[in-house]
Each structure stands twice: as structure tokens, then as C-alpha cells.
Amino acid sequence: MPAEIARRQDRLNAIAQARARLEQRQKRTGFLQFSLRGLHRVQAEWKLVCLALNLRRMGAMKVT
């Protein structure tokens, strides 16, 4: 019985580690793919992505 308890504890630890890795990956996730189709729509979407990134950077800047 102690071997079964140890096996289950190891499995729970592995699940907790996998969950932590997933949460870290989700925090790092940025722009991965376009939502729209067509060159003009993709260009417009890319401009919005760049705008959002620049606004985010500006918001993080310290004004002195």
C-alpha cells in the first residue's frame, strides 16, 4: 500500500508541474496567428497588433 501512495503522490506532483508550465506558457503567449484572411485584412490586423504593442510599451514607460 505505501508504494501505491507514493505512486499517486508522484503523479500528483507531475500534474502540478505540468499545470505550472502551462500557466507560464500562457503568460508568455503573444500574437500567434492572424484571425482574418486576405492580404488587406491581414495588413490591417498587423497594424492593430503593432499599435497595441506600442501602446503597451508606452504605458509601461516611466514618465519623469
* Structure confidence by residue, pLDDT tens digits, 8-39: 999 999 999 999 888 887 666 777 788 999 99
- pLDDT given for residue 40 in this prediction: 95
Kindly state the cell numbers that stand for 19. 499545470
CB distance 12 to 23 below 8 Å: no
Q: Where are the domains of the chain?
A: 1-30, 34-64
CA atoms within 13 A on the CB side of 19: 6
- pLDDT given for residue 49 in this prediction: 92
What pTM value is reported for the model? 0.50
pLDDT score of 62 more than 80:
no
DSSP H or E stretch at residue 44: helix 39-60
- pLDDT given for residue 26 in this prediction: 66
Kindly state the cell numbers that stand for 45. 490586423
Q: What percentage of the chain's residues is helix, strand, coil (to nearest 5)?
A: 75, 0, 25
